[in-house]
Structure 1
């Protein structure tokens, strides 16, 4: 609203500062989801949250462009302010507090024999070094949208429309709408089949390559439609990489530090968003297309970091985070964790011996698992509780299938 009433550069700058101070909502939403979901559910719900953000990004520029054409920047900004107030009211009056859910997850009963020594508890409260590597990746990944927002409108206006700001703004709005469509379609419809086809690490490689190609295409685009098409290319690649961050953070961060990990990731990104446009302004003045080439190089660094962390961490999709239990366990006679409300009965398909070994299955169980003689499958509360270094041989045998 302040931006809509701005009559000078100072007022507009103050409005942007206020906007920046309130720009950490994505990190807060991730923290809230970390509180109210189990570890295996978080990547799925975070991906869905991205899709719903995509709905807003797809519809917002279209509606905003129409409002701008009809009533100017004042009407567009004031309308956006009203939507923000409605969203704030919904959060305050309709969204339940997450502390109760967080306490419930913290109080969930561990698996029998799980190590709960003070040493383990102390270690689990810290953040692994690889998480800080992910935070560093955020410095290179986060500027892409704010830099695109800062320079793309100026770039297309000067290159394609000889300074016609109205035509340049319309093209830029179409680009943002295209990004929103990709944010909606890829997480909801395309990511899971793509992941099953190529695998997690390959999804990082493909997503990085597609993003770099699209950003380079932005700099080389000879016409507005080519610029729009290449924007869609890198937005598509960004969504192929999008779920990588919550999956890796969920795999690395202890449950008690999940919210802190997402918050720090967002903080590193916010710092980069503040510094990025200022640092890249001289580069844009020197050579306009070079900004897009720089973004392509930054995404290449991000992809390498993600791949390094992923290859050094055991990342498994939720569909294979399962362990076998006996019929007695299904009846509730010996499987105490099954009493927890966080456990769901699921079916596993396409498992391999290495996957079973990863989750603690002993060699004697592998033949039965692969032969299809498993009567039922129950998901454990956490993958970490099933790793071999957390259970003794006797505890493995107590979980084995008779």
Structure 2
């Protein structure tokens, strides 16, 4: 870690918060926007997956580019693409244009993985889970305000208006990057990185050859699959189960965002010190699985507020903790590429999840996507149980104070 670089966590927090607020505006509205063009649930699943398919293909490459040329220029390039994609979404007059807009955003969507690599650059290993938790709180804050804003702006079917608001927020995030964010990657480290390759199968094989890193990537993939499938059909789940529209769906996502902020903003550090990262991963996978299974059978919305508690709390702990473990198992020289690879695995899961859960909702009924997700989380737990100890930071020399 470069000394004196703790302060950049504030601008990266602001950048992620503003960017995710724009993303939060769009996410719950996209299925309803697609229905305007008479898209079926299966087609909506493909639309949701198109963004992640593009990310799957390019995110490791963007990560490698950030290793070679620095985090800051890659963040700027990816954010420009996000602004353009939201503008295109705002003027979309057909379903194919919606697909083009989502693909463009996915192709340029290296900003989150690059921001995570930035955090790995500027934090010590013992503080990394807490730092990822604070950034996760920025995600949560973005999802508190974003869906609520999107729900209000889209009243009466004005989905284009919400997309323009997302573009404005993404432009603000871009300006914050340009004017506030210093480079975190030293010239010495950049020189050690080989020329990035768009397809690097040798590097993938090497990463999965590291036993713990390979297990973590598998757990991250399966967990993300379960979340992506549920998220992609959540608006339709709320519509069919409770008769909800954009406003109610947006408020529920804001409620989940509040949970994420409370957990990730203050609880990650103490939890890691008390239980260790690996044990947290194993326990929280069980929480998420229970939350998905219970939500599948909820018929009244007040009970839904209770069943999403274990789901929201577990997922809020899992995401930063898995990211921290993955970065700890990665060589410093290749932080960007490895984190890009993990995000590529997550993107593949976000392609597969909607492709499975959209048709499951259409042909098997409303509970099916959630039960599929619960089963996947149990599978992730089986893999997570193979992660090595020590689980307690007190017995891990990387956590001992000098």
In the superposition, the TM-score normalised over structure 1's length comes to 0.67
Cα distance between partner residues in 1 of 2:112 and 2:188: 19
RMSD: 2.8
* Residue in structure 1 matching 2:102, options 16, 31, 47: 16
Match of 1:277 in 2: 354
Asked if the contact 2:136/2:265 (under 8 Å) is kept, the reply is no
With over 3 angstroms needed to count, the CA separation of the structure-2 counterparts of 1:190 and 1:101, relative to structure 1, is farther
1:143 aligns with 2:262: no
State the shift of 1:126 in Å: 9.7
1:155 aligns with 2:234: no
State the shift of 1:315 in Å: 5.1
Q: Which runs of 5+ in 1 are unaligned?
A: 107-123, 162-166, 321-354, 361-376, 380-402
Length, aligned pairs only: 300
Q: State which drifts further: 26-35 or 280-289.
A: 280-289
1:36 aligns with 2:122: yes
* Residue in structure 2 matching 1:300, options 370, 378, 400: 378
Cα distance between partner residues in 2 of 1:160 and 1:71: 19
1:155-304 alignment, distance < 5 Å: 155-161=237-243, 167-285=244-362, 286-304=364-382
* Secondary structure of the corresponding residue to residue 385 of structure 2: helix
Larger helix percent? 2
Q: Deviations over 1:84-123 (max 9, x none)?
A: 011112212321122228749x9xxxxxxxxxxxxxxxxx
* Secondary structure of the corresponding residue to residue 322 of structure 2: helix
Cα distance between partner residues in 1 of 2:397 and 2:269: 22
Cα distance between partner residues in 1 of 2:160 and 2:118: 33
Match of 1:130 in 2: 212
* Secondary structure of the corresponding residue to residue 99 of structure 1: coil
State the shift of 1:181 in Å: 1.1
1:42-191 alignment, distance < 5 Å: 42-69=128-155, 72-100=158-186, 103=189, 128-161=210-243, 167-191=244-268
Cα distance between partner residues in 2 of 1:95 and 1:72: 35
Q: Which has the higher contact order (CA 8 A, sep 6+)?
A: 2
Which one has a bigger Cα radius of gyration? 1
With over 3 angstroms needed to count, the CA separation of the structure-2 counterparts of 1:359 and 1:279, relative to structure 1, is closer
With over 3 angstroms needed to count, the CA separation of the structure-2 counterparts of 1:202 and 1:45, relative to structure 1, is closer
State the shift of 1:157 in Å: 0.8
In the superposition, the TM-score normalised over structure 2's length comes to 0.67
With over 3 angstroms needed to count, the CA separation of the structure-2 counterparts of 1:378 and 1:185, relative to structure 1, is closer
Asked if the contact 1:146/1:277 (under 8 Å) is kept, the reply is yes
Cα distance between partner residues in 2 of 1:42 and 1:196: 12
